[in-house]
Amino acid sequence: MFKGIVLTIIAVWFTLIVNAQTASTGMEEETNIYEKIFDAPLHLSGEQQMTFTALYQQKPILVALIFTRCSGICSPFLLELKDNLQQTDDKSFNILVISFDPRDNLEDMNNMAQKFGLENDPQWIFAVTDSIEQLNQSIGFYPIWDNETGQFDHDALLVGVNIEGYITKKLIGIRKKHDLDLLISSVNNVFSPTYRLPNKNSLFSCFNYDPKTGKNTPGLGLLFIALPAVLTVLMLVSISYFVRNKSQRMDRPYSE
């Protein structure tokens, strides 16, 4: 029973940590999956015009929805995204940063690109569109205008779009690198037959899926599966050591 108590203490401690880290709801991320994104005409920096279709046919895209006058989540969200992507150095996709605020024009977007030092990075595309409503609708993104603050009340949203224009995965909120890797593998059409619900704690999970390699790495829970076998071997060796040493000391055969 002592073992049980110790395990419980460890377990409770772990749970508290894990619960503190997971904040996402999960449910909203499941909307509009495998639906086509709206083919909005885009105004890109350098006076370029392009349709969404033309863009995703080149490479899969991660769409980040922001507005430049945001005093809240947009800047930290982009910064985190930039940091995480710099670590991966994966060029298999483009990132489209698009404004959902009708007040934003191309100049605002160019300024923003400069602020983050991304104006010369070919992987990052900053754009505005005249079809904000339809685009939001196709993604399932609903920012609410707040007159008092003069701001949009909205989630930080990152949407994965594969080269066929289907939404493969959505991430809401500022997320860990692991989740971003899952999004990247989804736009590249890597199928994993399962995923974990984000709002459940992952204490003692047996495996952790690594989207970059497409493999599962052992989790803490796997120890518990191996534990009985390991204990058995230890027990076998120690019993054998104990009884055989004793029999030598007593110098008397046991077969009688």
Partner 1 sequence: MESIKLRKITSVWILAVFVLFIVSIVLGILMRLNQGEIIKQNSVTFYTNMTTHGLTMIGIWFVAGMAAINYLMERYVKTSYTANMIALVLTVIGVLMFWATTFIGKFHAGWTFLYPLPFKVMWATWATPLFLVSLTVLGLGWLIWSISLMTQILRKYSISQAFAWQHFKKNPSVETPPFILISMITLVGVIACLLAAVVLIVLFFAEFFSNGSFVNDALLMKNLTYFFGHTIANEMLYLGLAVIYELFSEVSGTPKWKTTWYVAVAWNCTLIFILTAFFHHLYMDFVQPEGFQIIGQLASYLASLPAAGVTVFSVLIAVYRTKIKWSLTNLLFFIGVAGWVIGGLGAVIDATISNNVVLHNTLWVPAHFHTYNAMGNVLFSIAFFYWFSTQFTENNIKSEKLTMATLTILLIGGIGFLLAFYVGGADSVPRRYSTYPAEFTSAAPLAVIGAIFATIYLIAILIFFFNISKRCLKVLSSPS
Partner 2 sequence: MQQSSILLLFLALAVIGVIVFTYVYLSSKKVEQSEQGMANPQKKRFWFLLILFVILGIFASVTIPKSPYFLFAKETPAKTIHVASMQFAFFLSEHAIDPENLSGESIELPANELVEFRVTSLDVNHGFAIYDESNRLITQTQAMPGYVNRLRYKFTEPGTYNIFCLEYCGMAHQIMRSSFIVK
Binding site for partner 1 (CB under 8 A): 3-4, 7-8, 11-12, 15-16, 193-194, 196, 200-207, 215-216, 221, 224-225, 227-229, 231-232, 235-237, 239-240, 243-244, 247, 254-256
Residue (82 or 173) nearer to partner 2, CB: 173
- Among partner 1, partner 2, none, partner that 54 touches (CB below 5 to 8 angstroms by kind): none
- Which of 213, 155, 207, 217 is CA-nearest to residue 184? 213
DSSP state of 32: T
**Position among 200, 215, 244, 246 found at the interface with partner 2 (CB under 8 A):** 200
Residue (124 or 166) nearer to partner 2, CB: 166
Please report the sign of the dihedral spanned by the C-alpha atoms of residue 73, residue 189, residue 28, residue 202: negative
- Among partner 2, partner 1, none, partner that 173 touches (CB below 5 to 8 angstroms by kind): none
Angle value at C-alpha 209, between 204 and 215, nearest 5 degrees: 125
Quote the CA–CA distance of 167 and 38 in Å, as a whole number.
10
**Position among 8, 15, 19, 31 found at the interface with partner 2 (CB under 8 A):** 31
**Position among 9, 17, 34, 245 found at the interface with partner 2 (CB under 8 A):** 34
Quote the CA–CA distance of 141 and 32 in Å, as a whole number.
10
Q: Which two tokens stand for residue 159?
A: 């949407």
3-state secondary structure of 109: helix
30 binds partner 2 (CB under 8 A): yes
Residues between 157 and 186 that touch partner 2 (CB under 8 A): 162, 164, 166, 168
- Among partner 1, partner 2, none, partner that 17 touches (CB below 5 to 8 angstroms by kind): none
User: Token pair 């997320």 is at which residue?
Assistant: 175
Which residue type sits at 15? Answer: T
Residue (38 or 204) nearer to partner 1, CB: 204
Least distance from C-beta 200 to partner 2, angstroms? 4
- Among partner 1, partner 2, none, partner that 33 touches (CB below 5 to 8 angstroms by kind): partner 2
**Max Cα separation, the chain?**
99
The region, left, alpha or beta by phi > 0 then psi within -120 to 50, assigned to residue 129 is beta
**Position among 194, 251, 254, 255 found at the interface with partner 2 (CB under 8 A):** 194
Q: Partners of 218 in the beta sheet?
A: 207
